[in-house]
Amino acid sequence: MAFTTHTTPSGFLLPSIHSAPPFFSQQPNKTTLASFTDHWIKLILAYARHRRLFYLHVEDAETSGNDWDEVLKNERINRHVLPVYLEHIMGVMVEKNLAAFEPARQTRSVMLYWRLPEEWAETLHEWATSTGHLNTIMTFYDVTDPPIESPLSSIPVALLRKAIGILTKTNRAQLIAAADGEGVRFFSK
């Protein structure tokens, strides 16, 4: 049986396996389950990158009309991912450091690392350098909501803090506590 790829209205190219009904069932066999889960992780991260989505919740599989409809459902073959399976996939992603439970200490919502925090750190520093913000103090808001759209626009604060933390270790940034919130100062090096 041959399956074909499909382009969604948002312009995302779905893999051909997304048209295979067994792909949506949680397999009891460990080998087949791991194989399908790997493809799911690839698909989720690619779609998140395509739509700049930072969060995935178990509820996204339970309800419809959210950002993830195109991926978690396939109306052409009448299949969708059950919340239980999605939670399992999320667990595997966290294990592989491709996501983090956000907030911590629960397993029903994750922050997706379609770029790893290290990559975000580099992006952040490059952006600061290229926009001439070195050695000046900036608020988190300045970073996440710059007047000119940047690669960092709408990045979650939790992820931003993680990236700044990585820069701090190599002395390329400094976290500053201000009276009404937090700030950051970037150094060249």
Partner 1 sequence: MALKRYTKSIDSTIPLPALLYTDERLFSSQNGVGIYDGQQKSASHQSGTVHVSSHRLFFTDTRDNSFALDLSYVVQTVYYAGLFTSSSKVTLHLASKTLPGTPEPEVWVCHVCGNRNPPGTSPAASRICTLCGVRRESPSTPSTPVPAASDAVACPACTFRNNPSKTTCEICTAELPVPLAPEISLMKLSFRKGGDKAFYSKLKSCLKTKAWEVRLLTVDDPLPSGSGISTWTLYFDMGADDRLKFITDGILQSVATSNQGVETNMKDALQDLEALMLKAKDMVRLAADLNERLTTSTAANPASEPEEATFIRSSLSQLGLQMDNVPVTLDMMQDEREWINQLAKELARVLQTIMKDRGIIALDEVWGGWNRARGVALIPPTTFLQVLPHLPVYTTPTIQKRQLHSGLTVLHTPPYSHAAFSARLVGFLSLNGPQTAVEIAQEEEITVGLAEGMIGAVEADGQVCRDDEACALNGSTVGIVRWWPWTEFDRYNYDGQL
Stretch that binds partner 1, among 45-53, 88-96, 144-152, 172-180 (CB under 8 A): 45-53
Check binding of 171 to partner 1 (CB under 8 A).
Answer: no
Choose, by CB under 8 A, the member of 37, 43, 48, 110 that binds partner 1: 43
Quick one: which of 182, 22, 97, 108 has its CA closest to 173? 182
Stretch that binds partner 1, among 27-35, 91-99, 115-123, 140-148 (CB under 8 A): 27-35
The distance of closest approach from Cβ of residue 75 to partner 1 in the complex, given in angstroms and rounded to an integer, is: 6
Residues 53 to 92 in contact with partner 1, rule: CB under 8 A: 73, 75, 78-82
Stretch that binds partner 1, among 37-45, 90-98, 121-129, 165-173 (CB under 8 A): 37-45
Check binding of 17 to partner 1 (CB under 8 A).
Answer: yes
Contacts to partner 1 by CB under 8 A? 1, 5, 12-18, 20-29, 31-32, 35-36, 39, 42-43, 46-47, 50, 73, 75, 78-82
